[in-house]
């Protein structure tokens, strides 16, 4: 990684020398040398002015990576909003930043490609929950907040972005707006149980996000309807751990056509690895059946595709395999 003094030196060397440097260095490192800057001023808590060389082509809409001066720790992202002429600089809005660090004058800035490219893998070597970002469909799914943990764990408080699609055997979803998501479970539809779920994100800050959900199901074979309401809240423990909480209340007709109401509460902890994969684990409490279960899931996240292997126990006391005991499940989905 190049130091700030090296960046200043590069701005004074002849053009032919800069070209020679680019030719003899690896491509990923050369790209970083060409597209760097440093923070010149901090007009407000969510805005920075970035000094750039004249040859750099930062333009409105570009996403930039902010690194600390000394240890090169990633501090967050900024999005260019305006180009300034004197001195050659740009104004940028801070989109997200690390919860345990401050952005300061002279911190380094680099252009960043958050698709699943070799360049992003070189720059983003340490996965952290406080560095996930939303607001651009081109960003790889590994750098976005999770909206779904798998068929056995369900959804989170996050929603898809506007016009974003989620496709998998356990969930088919669409981002109606940035805070409203509509979904259905294809597997249940295939078994004759039509269902529709809506999730609305109410609030989000650096510490937690809260959403509410409503679902309606109708079983054509038994002519039974089921409705449920869910409360989701995600809390940010630290940069590596995130807690997904869900309280779900379900009401509907039993096989004897009696109204039955049940409630479930689950707490799942999400650990993010340095390669931006996820490990999900936590308990689940069923109040109606008075059972305690839980799950452990490892999720491999690529650009648009995610696969997950999950072990679940509906009831820890029932030492058998199946829907009422221990269950192993392989899940997958696409997000685009």
C-alpha separations of 82 from 92, 133, 139, 255, 291 in Å: 7, 21, 22, 63, 57
| Both tokens assigned to 305 | 């595709």
With respect to residue 278, please indicate whether it lies within any of the assigned structural domains. yes
53 and 194 part of one domain: no
Same-domain pairing of 190 and 300 = yes
Among 112, 128, 150, where does a domain finish?
Answer: 112
Does residue 129 sit in helix, strand or coil?
A: helix
Nearest partner of 132 among 240, 293, 266, judged by Cα: 240
210 class by beta-carbon count within 10 Å (0-12 exposed, 13-18 middle, 19+ buried): middle
Would you state the pLDDT for residue 26? 43
* 272 neighbors 130 (Cβ within 8 angstroms): no
Burial of residue 100 (CB within 10 Å: 0-12, 13-18, 19+) is: exposed
Q: What is the pLDDT along the chain (336 residues), one digit of tens a residue?
A: 333 333 333 444 454 444 343 344 444 443 434 468 899 999 998 999 999 876 667 889 899 999 998 777 899 999 999 988 767 889 999 988 887 788 999 999 998 889 888 888 888 888 999 899 987 778 999 999 999 999 989 999 999 999 999 999 999 999 999 999 999 999 999 988 999 999 999 999 888 999 999 999 998 887 888 999 999 999 998 889 999 999 999 987 655 556 688 999 999 999 999 999 999 999 999 998 889 999 999 999 999 999 999 999 988 887 777 767 799 999 999 999
Q: Are residues 83 and 29 in the same domain?
A: yes
- The pLDDT value given to residue 12: 43
State the Cα–Cα distance between residues 83 and 59, nearest whole angstrom: 7
Same domain, 62 and 164: no
Flag whether 248 is in a domain: yes
Same domain (yes/no): 310, 265:
yes
The answer to whether residues 157 and 80 belong to one domain is: no
225 and 78 in a common domain: no
Question: Does residue 298 sit in helix, strand or coil?
Answer: strand
Q: What is the CATH number of the domain that holds 233?
A: 2.40.160
**Domain check: are 241 and 290 in the same one?**
yes
Q: 160 and 106 in one domain? A: no
CA distance 151 to 185: 9
Two tokens at 64?
């930039």
Residue 118: count other Cβ atoms within 10 Å of its Cβ: 10
Position 52 scores a pLDDT of 85
| Domain residue limits at 85 | 4-112
| Cα–Cα nearest to 126, from 276, 304, 301 | 276
Which of 92, 112, 132 terminates a domain? The answer is 112
Report if residue 119 sits inside a domain. Answer: no
Do 201 and 298 fall into the same domain?
A: yes
Residues 152 and 98 in one domain: no
Angle in degrees, 0-180, between the axes of helices 15-24 and 27-34, rounded to the nearest 10: 150
Residue 308, phi then psi, degrees to nearest 5: -140, 135
Last residue of a domain, one of 112, 129, 162: 112
Measured CA to CA, the distance from residue 216 to residue 213 in angstroms comes to 10
Residues 84 and 181 grouped into a single domain: no
For the whole model, what pTM was predicted? 0.83
Domain harbouring 88, CATH code = 2.40.10.170
Contact 55, 34 (CB under 8 A): yes
Whether 275 maps to a domain, the answer reads: yes
- Provide the residue count of the chain: 336
Q: Is residue 134 part of a domain?
A: no
Residue 185 lies in a domain: yes
Q: How many domains does the chain have?
A: 2
Name the pairing type of β-strands 108-111 and 36-44: antiparallel
In a domain? residue 132: no
In a domain, 323, yes or no: yes
């Amino acid at each position: 990684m190049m130091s700030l003094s090296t960046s200043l030196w590069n701005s004074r060397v002849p053009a032919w020398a800069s070209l020679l440097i680019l030719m003899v260095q690896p491509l990923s490192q050369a790209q970083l040398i060409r597209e760097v800057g440093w923070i010149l001023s901090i007009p407000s808590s969510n805005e920075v002015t970035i000094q750039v060389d004249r040859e750099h082509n930062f333009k409105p809409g570009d996403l930039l990576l902010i690194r600390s001066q000394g240890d090169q720790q990633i501090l967050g992202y900024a999005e260019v909003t305006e180009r300034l002429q004197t001195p050659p600089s740009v104004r940028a809005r801070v989109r997200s930043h690390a919860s345990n660090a401050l952005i300061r004058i002279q911190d380094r800035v680099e252009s960043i490609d958050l698709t699943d490219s070799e360049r992003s893998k070189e720059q983003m070597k340490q996965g952290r929950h406080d560095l996930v970002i939303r607001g651009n469909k081109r960003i790889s799914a590994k750098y976005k907040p999770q909206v779904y943990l798998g068929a056995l764990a369900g959804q989170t408080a996050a929603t898809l972005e506007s016009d974003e699609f989620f496709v998998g055997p356990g969930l088919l979803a669409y981002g109606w707006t940035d805070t409203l998501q509509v979904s259905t479970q294809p597997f249940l539809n295939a078994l004759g149980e039509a269902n529709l779920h809506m999730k609305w994100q109410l609030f989000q800050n650096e510490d937690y996000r809260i959403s509410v959900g409503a679902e309606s199901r109708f079983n054509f074979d038994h002519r039974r309807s089921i409705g449920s309401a869910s409360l989701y809240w995600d809390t940010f423990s630290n940069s590596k751990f995130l807690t997904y909480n869900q309280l779900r209340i379900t009401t509907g007709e039993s096989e004897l056509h009696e109204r039955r109401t049940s409630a479930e509460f689950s707490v799942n902890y999400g650990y993010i690895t340095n390669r931006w994969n996820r490990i999900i684990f936590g308990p689940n409490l069923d109040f109606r059946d008075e059972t305690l279960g839980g799950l452990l899931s490892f999720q491999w996240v690529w650009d648009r595709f995610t696969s997950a292997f999950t072990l679940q126990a509906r009831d820890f006391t029932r030492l058998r395999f199946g829907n009422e005991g221990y269950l192993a499940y392989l899940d997958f989905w696409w997000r685009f």
